[in-house]
A = this chain, B = another copy of it.
Amino acid sequence: MNWFKDTLEIPTRGKGLYPFTDAVSARIRTWGIQEGMCFLYVQHTSASLLISENYDPTAKDDLEQFLEVLAPENQPWHTHTLEGPDDTTSHLRAMLTPASLSIPIDRGQLSLGTWQGIYLFEHRAQRHQRKVLLRCLRGWFIIG
- Residues on A close to B: CB < 8 A? 1-6, 27, 30-31, 35-37, 39, 41-45, 50-53, 56, 58-59, 61-63, 65-66, 69-71, 75, 77-80, 82, 88, 91-92, 94-104, 106, 111-116, 131, 133-135, 137, 139-144
Q: Residue A77 contacts which of B65, B71, B103 (CB distance < 8 angstroms)?
A: B65
Q: Residue A2 contacts which of B31, B56, B142 (CB distance < 8 angstroms)?
A: B142
- Is the CB–CB distance between A43 and B113 below 8 Å? yes
Query: Which residues of chain B have C-beta atoms less than 8 A from A45's C-beta?
Result: 51-53, 59, 113, 115-116
Query: Which residues of chain B have C-beta atoms less than 8 A from A37's C-beta?
Result: 39, 135
Question: Measured between alpha carbons, how far is A30 from B104 in the docked complex, in Å?
Answer: 21
Q: Residue A97 contacts which of B3, B95, B115, B139 (CB distance < 8 angstroms)?
A: B95
Majority SS at the chain A contact face = mixed
Query: Which residues of chain B have C-beta atoms less than 8 A from A140's C-beta?
Result: 3
Known contacts A4-B142, A6-B143, A79-B62, A102 near B104 by CB under 8 Å: no
A62 to chain B, nearest CB (A): 5
Question: Measured between alpha carbons, how far is A114 from B70 in the docked complex, in Å?
Answer: 27
Q: Residue A135 contacts which of B50, B115, B141 (CB distance < 8 angstroms)?
A: B141
